[in-house]
Amino acid sequence: MNIGDSIPWINALDIQGYVKRMKAFRIKVDPFLEAEVDEHIARRHDHLKNEFVPKDIVDVLLQLVVDPNPDFKLSRNNIKSITLDLFAGGVTSPTTIIEWALSELLKHPKLFKKATEELDRVIGRERWVEEKDLPNLPYIKFIIYETMRMHPGAPMLAPHLARENCKIHGYDIVQGTQVLVNMWSIGRDPTVWDEPNEFCPERFLGRDIDVKGRHFELLPFGSGRRMCPGYSLGLKLIESGLANLLHGFT
Nearer residue to ligand HEM within complex by CB, 62 or 98: 98
Nearer residue to ligand HEM within complex by CB, 94 or 201: 94
Closest distance between ligand HEM and the C-beta of residue 236, in Å?
A: 9
Closest distance between ligand HEM and the C-beta of residue 47, in Å?
A: 26
Query: Is 228 flagged in the annotation as binding?
Result: yes
The C-alpha atoms of residue 147 and residue 200 are separated, in whole angstroms, by: 9
Separation of CA 99 from chain center:
14
Of the candidates 71, 41, 33, 101, the residue with the CA atom closest to the CA atom of residue 243: 101
Nearer residue to ligand HEM within complex by CB, 20 or 216: 216
Phi/psi at 230 (5° precision):
-100, 20
Nearer residue to ligand HEM within complex by CB, 181 or 246: 181
Closest distance between ligand HEM and the C-beta of residue 93, in Å?
A: 3
**119 near 246, Cβ under 8 Å?**
yes
The C-alpha atoms of residue 81 and residue 61 are separated, in whole angstroms, by: 11
Closest distance between ligand HEM and the C-beta of residue 228, in Å?
A: 3
Please report, as ranges, the residues that interact with ligand HEM according to CB under 6 A. 85-86, 89-90, 93-94, 97, 153-154, 157-158, 220-223, 226-230, 233-234, 238
Encode 81-106: b = buried (16+ Cβ within 10 Å), e = exposed.
eebbeeeebeeebbebbbebbbebbe
Provide the annotated binding site for heme: 228
